[in-house]
Amino acid sequence: MTNEKRREIADAFEKDLDPLSTLEETFIRKELEPFEAALTDLIDYETTPQGTINNYTVPIKQWKSFMDRYDRHPACPAEHHVGAFITYLRQERENSDSTIKPKIRHLDSVFKHWQSDPAFPHDDAFNPFSKELQRGHLSPEEANEPPRISVPELREKLQDVNHWRDQCIIVMQLKLGLRASELCNIKLSEINLRHQELTDHYDEMGTHRRVRDRPNCVYIPPDRDLNKSNVPRVLPLDDEMRLLLIEYLLVRPDNGKSWLFLSPTRHNQMNNSKINEIWKDYFHPEYKMDPDDPYRSLTSHFGRHRFSTHFRNERQWPEEKVQYMTGHKGSYDSDQHDSLATYVHTYYEDIKDRYLDEIYKFGLGI
């Protein structure tokens, strides 16, 4: 049913399509804690495994933080808030549908608890979490692969990207397999480019201990907000990537911020949403898919997918080396490596030369 038709029916019967909006003033004024109240009934903290507790507390924390963006009490959502939350989990937190669905189910359990308890004002007529689950948009069939784009096709598309920052971002994800969050979290100190003009201009460039003795490389830290990997990695920069970074850094806004990539308006740290917008600007509508297409629409995650496909399937790299480059914790074995420092050193030296020989080229910056 279209939104227009739903509103027509609601108006005819004097129904409110956002029925919880009238409740939030009381929740705020009385400083009520509905989530905590529900969890005390849903969870026995003394006997419940911590993993099960986290299944509730993690999505609740993410939901509360998300609703702060709308200045809306998290116990009083409209339907569109839940849909927007799913988009946020997909695009900014880079969750797969198989990860998102349990989060919505646990939030739905909390909401149903409110509906079943007469102390709460939530009645049975409206549950936006249940409605989203009923739509089936989070079923496994929806988690299709992104479209298949060859290197020559990518080369042609990238020739049309005429902004240094945008070109640098897209190519860096393609060449290094980075998540959008990992790209946003790189600091100038964590990238070592041998270029005298840049090192004279950016005092902190390449000073991090993981890169300072390794020319033309970048460190991907594991301990930043939204970075999913639990292990660090250092990755080499080929000539093409290095030249694109040099061109970008020569025109980058100089405001003293430590982040490699800055937002276009306020020149603060770039966020995941902006990274995704950049990809869409250049790859949509051509790679924006309809619901019945066999592939999902192209987003910033495509760079990581293309990178893994290239080295795992097309170049037949050993799995543990692909895992190192993509930051999967399966590549780190504490029995084989005395410390993370030796782990990084071992794998970086193992992959560097072959990576530089086999990473795809786009004919940019040279």
CB 211 within 8 A of CB 234: yes
pLDDT on residue 166: 95
Alpha-carbon distance of 94 to 96, in angstroms, equals 7
4 in a domain, yes or no? no
- The domain total for the chain is 2
Q: If we measure between CA atoms, which residue out of 365, 309, 366, 360 comes closest to residue 152?
A: 360
Alpha-carbon distance of 359 to 355, in angstroms, equals 6
Cα–Cα separations (whole angstroms), residue 157 to 149, 198, 281, 321, 360 = 10, 29, 11, 29, 14
Residues 158 and 296 placed together within one structural domain of the fold: yes
71 in a domain, yes or no? yes
Token code pair at residue 127: 């549950």
pLDDT on residue 334: 42
Summarised one tens digit per residue, pLDDT across range 58-76 is 999 999 999 998 889 999 9
Q: Which residue in this structure is represented by tokens 């003293």?
A: 256
pLDDT on residue 146: 81
Residues 134 and 227 placed together within one structural domain of the fold: no
Question: Residue 276 is part of a domain; what is its CATH number?
Answer: 1.10.443.10
Cα–Cα separations (whole angstroms), residue 194 to 35, 271, 353, 362 = 52, 27, 18, 22
7 in a domain, yes or no? no
Question: Residue 108 is part of a domain; what is its CATH number?
Answer: 1.10.150.130
pTM above the 0.75 mark? Answer: no
Q: Which residue in this structure is represented by tokens 């592939």?
A: 295
One-letter-per-residue 3-state SS of the chain: CCHHHHHHHHHHCCCCCCHHHHCHHHHHHCCCCHHHHHHHHHCCCCCCCHHHHHHHHHHHHHHHHHHHCCCCCCCCCCHHHHHHHHHHHHHCCCCCHHHHHHHHHHHHHHHHHHHHCCCCCCCCCCCHHHHHHHHCCCCHHHCCCCCCCCHHHHHHHHHCCCCHHHHHHHHHHHHHCCCHHHHHCCEHHHEECCCHHHHHHCCCCCCCCCCCCCCCEEEECCCCCCCCCCCCEEEECCHHHHHHHHHHHHHCCCCCCCECCECCCCCCECCHHHHHHHHHHHHCCCCCCCCCCCCCCCCCCHHHHHHHHHHHHHCCCCHHHHHHHHCCHHHCCCCCCCCHHHHHHHHHHHHHHHHHHHCCCCCCCC
Residues 56 and 190 placed together within one structural domain of the fold: no
pLDDT on residue 176: 97
Residue 140: pLDDT band by 50, 70, 90 thresholds? very low
Residues 34 and 55 placed together within one structural domain of the fold: yes
Alpha carbons within 13 A on the beta-carbon side of 23: 16
Residues 213 and 90 placed together within one structural domain of the fold: no
Alpha-carbon distance of 201 to 284, in angstroms, equals 36
* Rg of the chain on CA atoms, in Å: 24
Residues 187 and 134 placed together within one structural domain of the fold: no
Domain end, chosen from 124, 142, 160, is at 142
Partners of residue 191 on adjacent β-strands: 218
Cα–Cα separations (whole angstroms), residue 360 to 158, 179, 306, 350 = 13, 18, 11, 19
Range of the domain at 92: 24-142
**CB neighbours of residue 63 within 10 Å:** 25
Highest-pLDDT range among 173-187, 212-226, 323-337? 173-187
Summarised one tens digit per residue, pLDDT across range 235-283 is 999 999 999 999 999 999 888 899 999 988 889 998 888 999 999 999 9
Domain end, chosen from 92, 117, 142, is at 142
Residue 338: pLDDT band by 50, 70, 90 thresholds? very low
108 in a domain, yes or no? yes
CB 256 within 8 A of CB 267: no
Residue 95: pLDDT band by 50, 70, 90 thresholds? confident
∠ at Cα 226 (223, 229), nearest 5°? 55
Residues 134 and 242 placed together within one structural domain of the fold: no
Residues 65 and 204 placed together within one structural domain of the fold: no
353 in a domain, yes or no? yes
Residues 75 and 55 placed together within one structural domain of the fold: yes
Residue 3: pLDDT band by 50, 70, 90 thresholds? low
Residues 50 and 177 placed together within one structural domain of the fold: no
72 in a domain, yes or no? yes
Summarised one tens digit per residue, pLDDT across range 194-244 is 999 999 999 999 999 999 999 999 999 887 765 566 678 999 999 999 999
Domain end, chosen from 107, 142, 177, is at 142
49 burial level (CB within 10 Å; 0-12, 13-18, 19+): exposed
Q: If we measure between CA atoms, which residue out of 6, 71, 4, 64 comes closest to residue 36?
A: 64
219 in a domain, yes or no? yes
1 in a domain, yes or no? no
Residues 137 and 159 placed together within one structural domain of the fold: no
Token code pair at residue 161: 């990207």
Residues 219 and 335 placed together within one structural domain of the fold: yes
pLDDT on residue 297: 81
